[in-house]
Structure 1
């Protein structure tokens, strides 16, 4: 069977956490639901998969491999009791991973609810010049961007927020060479470039990629046309990094650890991996390597890990 990249899904982003109880509680407060837990007591780690799953959610009720917009929390036993254990959030040196982003119905009300519950912010709506985005901190100080599905004017006087309408919109990683990374994610991973935001004044560009139907560059009411989506990848490129032979981003898997990987769910795992082989990708783990024969890991141009798993709705393969 051949593989069709248009059938792929940007399934999840993995973050290591110190205390799973606190982290799960935070993401559940954002309206997410624990849809799967994979316990690995022999190897002394557990995996928690959270996603939006209300009747209003994009992938309500789907098998966890047949979704986009999942966050996978990895807990290594004992870290919660280690006073010296600390996560690298990717935004202090060494930098690499940037943030997750949720889109919300009424951004002022959503941010007020988070503030009222005692969660800390890296940037409140009222901080700085950009009044349409905020960054809340999860228990490990990972940044979670909050963006609105409507314009500020539409939601200014609205006091309520419904977490059932939220989306896990995107995952941001920094890349050294925009052209090289864009070619890789489009040609090799089969994603479409859905939106570009150029910030010449501040010396950086943002590129939003994803699967599924093309998204219009603008919406009728002026809101972000991608805000209602899940499963987007944001690449941040700071001008000039591509010219520095010694410049390198941190992949989150070398010490100090934090972010682990992004994951693509594919239509046919063997066929997809054969296609990646033809594309001459750099492998972290081939499907046939090691004991786990149901996952592979490809390296992107910056060395970020991309897990590849079977979409179990399209072809039953693994007993997850």
Structure 2
């Protein structure tokens, strides 16, 4: 391995001596500056393994040199060897505070110079190895975390599709409503992490329909009061399926499943929650779910036009739906139409989410 060493000293004789000693070591390349300011610029912009700097220099003394050098990003741990006189103990104390790594005293002993330089170069190399190792480990953790999150996302969609096989809704419905939900969350100014969490969890809002009998779930006509009471249990079933998970996505999905049929005026189910007592994710998902349900064709109904569905959503603000979520939804109407056009019913839900 070849090391790069920077030498900054206003005395030409010292530069020649240090260069010769480094050359004798056999594994060092040196760059020399008699001007401290020019040397500092080189130290701040070039990647060296060691900096050797004299204390007594015009324009910029060694302590000030080290102070400015250590303030440069990425130069906090680079070894610095400072040259001082025997009687400059106070200077050495100040240099230590500024960030000097080690000292040599004048007149410089050749054997001591090469020994200290060798030790500091090896110390710097060890630090670099540790830093590289830490960076490698961080990257491996990032990759592993990404793979785990990707598997979790796929699990969520496959869970959501399990309900789809028994429900006349399509896989693209869960994707569209998830993207509508994220759109509303972003419009409300929620943090990016929360928006992404909602996008991943919203598809599970109707997972509890797997517990509803086909005679009710697939009935083409209006449900009887008794059948509707049984149908309402799907929100509780969904919560029971997903609750207790260590996954934040599944925990969020459980809360959305439980609360997305609550109504802003308190007339919803299963808890009869009212206003802001309804969790915000559930209030958002309710707007997204109702809009896509209205504008999608089902065996028991035709798709509503965008105009009719929009009028209904706006009329439901304050009673069924959160007015702020409704306003935010329609304030991004162009994006709503793009989502509706992008995710068609004949596409695979796992791929498009």
Specify the TM-score bucket, using the shorter chain as the normaliser.
under 0.3
TM value normalised by structure 2: 0.22
Pick the structure with more helix per residue: 2
Q: Relative contact order, CA 8 A, sep 6+: which one is greater?
A: 1
Pick the structure with more strand per residue: 1
TM value normalised by structure 1: 0.23
Q: Which has the larger radius of gyration?
A: 2
